Amino acid sequence: MAIQTVATTPIPGQRPGTSGLRKKVAVFRQQHYLENFVQSVFDTLGDLAGKTLVLGGDGRFHNRAAVHTILRMAAANNVARVLVGRGGLLSTPAVSCVIRKHEALGGIILSASHNPGGPDGDFGIKYNIANGGPAPEGVTDAIYQRTTTIGQYRISDDPDIDIDRIGRGYMEQMQIEVIDPVEDYAGMMEELFDFGAIRALFAGGFRMCFDAMSAISGPYAQAILEGRLGAPAGTVINAVPLEDFGGHHPDPNPVNAAQLIELMAGPDAPDFGAASDGDADRNMIVGRDFAVTPSDSLAILAANAQVAPGYRGGIAGIARSMPTSRAADRVAEALGVKLYETPTGWKYFGNLLDAGLITLCGEESYGTGSNHIREKDGVWAVLFWLNLLAATGKGVQEIVTEHWARFGRNYYSRHDYEAIDAHAAQVLMDDLRVKLSNLAGQELNNYTVDFADDFSYTDPVDASQSAQQGIRIVMTDGSRIVYRLSGTGTEGATLRIYLERYEADPSQHNIPTQQALAALIAIADSVASIAYNTGRSNPTVIT
Ligand code: G1P
Ligand code: ZN
């Protein structure tokens, strides 16, 4: 069998966004599209002799074909060994776990996360480095630069190997090891959490519903919850990963996980509900008729971390993305640890975790995680909550309201305007930037603007800088409005508006969220002239 060198030309637009390269499946199926990007990754990595890579994806449409192409290219590029999940499947957190455990050079994840799948849906590819986390900007920029000059790629014409059976095989000189996608990950969870206490909880009749949204968290949740923890069969719903996620949007928020929200509001609601996204790195936590905001979830896990064996030693620090609510800031203060505010995107947590500056981190976009791996982790967050429920004997709502009573409540919401005209979105952001300097001191709807700026970040570990990471208007009482354009969308532009208001008084903790934020919502609208600029009078999704 032979290694082919195939001539190609650069394909425009292969710049990775917030989380890897994401495009419509039809784009990825264009001739040379995947190959150009993968070869650019390999060229950026340099000499691959003797190196191990991890490969897997969330099982969406095109996953299997892409796995075979990448294996043939890896073999042609001198990679020594590839660990691939059975069936080409690995959740994003599992890839991170396997890279670390097996000391691989890095890994390739095939996923478009929470974006819809299927032939008309989205596909994505992302490279993770040796720490198990998404490649930092320096690496993704180098990959992108390579895509703009690429002239050829290398691929083996060896026959495809059977990826549906655990075991070892060879392609050219490269060893391919097909691994159980769940094993390493489940073992790690067992070390972090008190499985005995959670098992006892289920044995006592505690009921939960985990909505895997027909995505990759299904096999993990089933093996861990129903397998190792003894939860009754059927605890995990929509457990079988489907190539098109059953036509649904695999994004765990109250809008997209409507089936779970309805169940949790019903007369026979289980004690605890949870959902995860397409690649199993996001999580949503729900009590009986009560959804927990991701920002609160991060704060609550941080405040109670000692219930879990893996965190008994205390936490070194907490990080949150800038638009995430400041609920965690108050916990950090109470614990006497530092709080880091980073740009949106998990990659910014990597250095802080590697340097041991933080133990827990999270984003408002249903992402929570810790130093156990270098990705956010949906099933981990659910297990952490289970551990907390088991240790305290309290319900979800009770835990949250007690937390608010102690720390105050950060009312929080995100309004998304999806698929708006990309040019109009740019104009809106540019106009806002012009307005920024005049906002401080202005009275708006009974709020006074303390300061307004375009968030920029200097990484405390390597001093790398990231500018234009979101426009924020901060009021004198700490309330905030943040505007950002999404870096993961594949259609037009998505404008995200994040709204936050702090309320210390427990008698004011039961106002419906949109009502509590109404004055800020009105300010956000008028300052950015949203209706005028986008032609939309209402957001597409409110979470
Ligand atoms: C979105 C979320 C962000 C998350 C990313 C990947 O990015 O907002 O917090 O890290 O997905 O899951 P965005 O589309 O806003 O750029
Ligand atoms: Zn995801």
pLDDT of residue 235: 98
Question: Best of 344, 347, 490 to mutate for ligand 1, by most ligand atoms within 8 A of CB?
Answer: 344
Question: Best of 284, 322, 365, 376 to mutate for ligand 1, by most ligand atoms within 8 A of CB?
Answer: 365
Distance 518 CA to ligand 2 centre (A): 30
321 a catalytic residue: no
Give the type of residue at 293: T
> Which ligand does the CA of 111 lie closest to?
2
Residues 6+ apart with CB under 8 A from 252: 114, 211, 213, 274, 275, 276, 277, 282, 283, 284, 366, 378
Q: Using CA atoms, how far apart are residues 45 and 77, in angstroms rounded to an integer?
A: 11
Give, using CA atoms, the residue closest to atom 13 of ligand 1.
486
Structure tokens at 443: 């009275």
Q: Which numbered atom of ligand 1 lies nearest the CA of 345? A: 10
CA separation, residue 147 to residues 27, 66, 134, 154 (Å): 15, 18, 18, 14
CA separation, residue 215 to residues 60, 117, 210, 317 (Å): 8, 10, 12, 32
Q: Which numbered atom of ligand 1 lies nearest the CA of 365? A: 9
pLDDT of residue 19: 82
Distance 363 CA to ligand 1 centre (A): 8
Q: Using CA atoms, how far apart are residues 277 and 208, in angstroms rounded to an integer?
A: 18
Segment-wise mean pLDDT, segments of 10 residues, the chain, 543 residues:
93 90 96 98 97 98 98 98 98 98 98 94 96 92 97 96 96 98 98 98 98 97 98 97 94 92 95 97 97 98 98 97 98 98 94 97 98 98 98 98 98 96 94 94 95 96 94 96 88 94 96 97 95 91 94
Give, using CA atoms, the residue closest to atom 10 of ligand 1.
345
> Which ligand does the CA of 495 lie closest to?
1
Q: Using CA atoms, how far apart are residues 451 and 439, in angstroms rounded to an integer?
A: 7
Beta strands in 52-105 (DSSP E): 52-57, 81-89
Q: Which numbered atom of ligand 1 lies nearest the CA of 489? A: 14
List the Cα angle 264/266/268 in 5-degree steps: 90
> Which ligand does the CA of 20 lie closest to?
1
Nearest to 177 by CA among 186, 187, 167: 167
> Which ligand does the CA of 414 lie closest to?
1
Q: Please, what are the domains in the chain?
A: 3-180 (3.40.120.10), 185-407 (3.40.120.10), 409-542 (3.30.310.50)
Q: Using CA atoms, how far apart are residues 208 and 271, in angstroms rounded to an integer?
A: 6
Distance 144 CA to ligand 2 centre (A): 22
pLDDT of residue 1: 65
Distance 214 CA to ligand 2 centre (A): 13
Distance 487 CA to ligand 1 centre (A): 7
Nearest to 216 by CA among 282, 294, 128, 124: 282
**Residue 443: burial class (beta carbons within 10 Å; 0-12, 13-18, 19+):** exposed
Question: Which residue of the set 19, 40, 96, 113 is catalytic?
Answer: 113
pLDDT of residue 18: 74
Concatenate the DSSP letters of all residues of 113-127 into one string.
Answer: TTS--STTSEEEEEE
Is 343:470 a contact under the CB 8 Å cutoff? yes
Residues 6+ apart with CB under 8 A from 443: none
Q: Which residues line ligand 1 (CB under 6 A)?
A: 18-19, 113, 321, 344-346, 363, 365, 367, 486-489, 496
Distance 367 CA to ligand 2 centre (A): 8
Nearest to 52 by CA among 76, 74, 27: 74
Structure tokens at 70: 């990448």
User: Beta partners for 306?
Assistant: none
Q: Using CA atoms, how far apart are residues 143 and 41, in angstroms rounded to an integer?
A: 6
Is 75:174 a contact under the CB 8 Å cutoff? yes
Is 484:499 a contact under the CB 8 Å cutoff? no
